Amino acid sequence: MDPRKLVSCLDFRYITDVLTEEEAYEILQKGQVGKKEREEQMLAHGYPAYTTSCAWLGYSDTTLKQLCSKALEDGWTRFKVKVGADLQDDIRRCRLIRNMIGPEKTLMMDANQRWDVPEAVEWVAKLAEFKPLWIEEPTSPDDILGHATISKALVPLGIGVATGEQCHNRVIFKQLLQAKALQFLQIDSCRLGSVNENLSVLLMAKKFDIPVCPHAGGVGLCELVQHLIIFDFISVSASLKDRMCEYVDHLHEHFKYPVIIKKASYMPPKDAGYSTEMKEESVKKHQYPDGEVWEKLLAAQGN
């Protein structure tokens, strides 16, 4: 879309103190330079992804090792581990994963809003030896200043703060950026509610020079977000530095146009649309209360 027309689709209310319509237009105009080459790069190599499928809390060491080994065989170089339930268990699991993937591969940590602010700083400091690129959602997603405090405290350790999957509008992201509360911005294609709202956040992130590393997984989130992140590279950020998109190998079989992952990268979708049309058979089976899945669950409860 022409940059001027694209800008006309965005709502700049409440964010003009950090991004004006003219600034957004200038960003998109600059994004026209080298656009064709970046399109070709995406078609040839795809957008880099990271895996969250290996190291959920509650996995046994055996399962963790098996999944990690399989991911390494499949070419994954970026791994995320869940933390926050028990410090000693976190240390043991992070050591196990770091030993498996080696020092050169990228490790991220995700606390899923587990800690208070002082606790987050203290806990992450004790995990710093494993060289995580970021700690994700270390505290309440609504606590902008808390994230800023954690972010400032972790700078000497070389650990960034990542957040955004729970942020529901451009104003929250504006404040996170203003407060220097994150080093990695994680849009969620559904939480923000529209393509338009996501685009305004991509443009603000570009203005602040903060990499966008979207949240995905769930039911169709990978399918949705691939469009946004590939657009970001081609037309907005023009950079892959410190940028990657989450991938979870889960529930893609229910979609008519599932994501295509090759060599740990999202390959650009070729079909028209937003890639989230579900198979009629899957919808029918999961409809409440008459679908086959629900009938079995309800019958089991009745027994």
The set of residues, in sequence order, having a beta carbon less than 8 Å from that of 38 and lying 6+ positions away, is 233, 234, 238
d(CA 113, CA 116): 8
Which phi and psi angles does 50 have, rounded to 5°? -130, 155
Nearest to 205 by CA among 50, 5, 10, 27: 27
Of 258, 187, 272, 189, nearest in space to 224 by CA? 189
Name the E strands within the chain.
47-55, 78-82, 106-110, 134-136, 160-163, 184-185, 245-247, 260-262, 265-267
Taking alpha carbons only, the member of 207, 209, 172 closest to residue 188 is 172
Catalytic position from the list 80, 147, 206, 215: 215
* Given the residues 82, 147, 174, 227, the one annotated as active site: 82
Decide if 286 is catalytic: no
- Is 215 marked active-site? yes
Residues with catalytic roles: 82, 215
